[in-house]
Amino acid sequence: MKITPQAAVANFIATFLLVALIITPIYFAKNFSQVAGVKTESRYLLISQTDKFPNMTFTQNSNIYQLSFTKQSQNQAYLSVFIINNPTQSPQKYTLKTQSPETNLFFGDDLNNLQNSAIAPPGSSIPISIITKSTSQSDLISFTIN
């Protein structure tokens, strides 16, 4: 059986298309997985729940976070305003730093145990809460997470 040049070209093109149809989805799936979701280089993912609190707005500029709100009373606690998530494959230590002496940011919901640092196991989440003792009716809090 002799193969004609047209049949050889047709077989080559058919083989090339078959290989391309198999490899193309794998190539794009690999590239899309790098774009979608949380990057593994990120030490944390901060999830805001400020929409659950009245008159509270959250902004971010680089690694500086700002929270502004109107208080209901002079001393006020806001529990689980944020949730910090550890997307890495190793435990991470996080520390909250704020410039306001009248405001305490702490990990967890326990008002008797105000911890400004915490160690999060891989894939875990920790709530961040706020206690404010300022005399003003509204507050602006700036903080960082290290």
- According to DSSP, the residues that pair with 77 across neighbouring strands are 131
Is residue 16 located within the same domain as residue 51? Answer: no
Same domain, 117 and 52: yes
- How many separate domains does the chain show? 2
Name the band, by pLDDT with cuts 50, 70 and 90, for residue 30: low
Instruction: Say what the pLDDT of residue 31 is.
Output: 58
Residue type, 134: S
Structure tokens at 1: 């059986």
Cα–Cα distance for residue pair 19/114, rounded to 1 Å: 59
Which domain, by its residues, includes 135?
45-145
Shared-domain flag, residues 30 and 68: no
Q: Which of 44-53, 68-77, 125-134 has the lowest mean pLDDT?
A: 68-77
Question: Are residues 83 and 138 both part of a single domain?
Answer: yes
90-132 pLDDT, tens per residue? 999 999 998 888 888 999 988 888 899 999 999 899 999 998 8
CATH number at residue 136: 2.60.120
List, in sequence order, every residue forming a beta bridge with 85; answer none if it has no partner: 45, 125
- CB–CB of 116/93 below 8 Å? no
Q: Note whether 105 and 63 are same-domain residues.
A: yes
Q: Return d(Cα 58, Cα 141) in angstroms, integer.
A: 10
> What is this structure's pTM?
0.69
Does 73 lie in the same domain as 16?
no
Same domain, 18 and 56: no
Tell me: pLDDT of 38 over 50.
no
* Cα distance between residue 16 and residue 36, in whole Å: 30
Q: Are residues 96 and 115 in the same domain?
A: yes
Residue 115, both tokens: 């911890």
The C-alpha atoms of residue 42 and residue 86 are separated, in whole angstroms, by 9
Residue 22 corresponds to which amino acid? I
Q: What is the pLDDT of residue 127?
A: 95
pLDDT band at 41 (very low <50, low <70, confident <90, very high): low
User: Do residues 130 and 77 make contact, with C-beta atoms less than 8 angstroms apart?
Assistant: yes
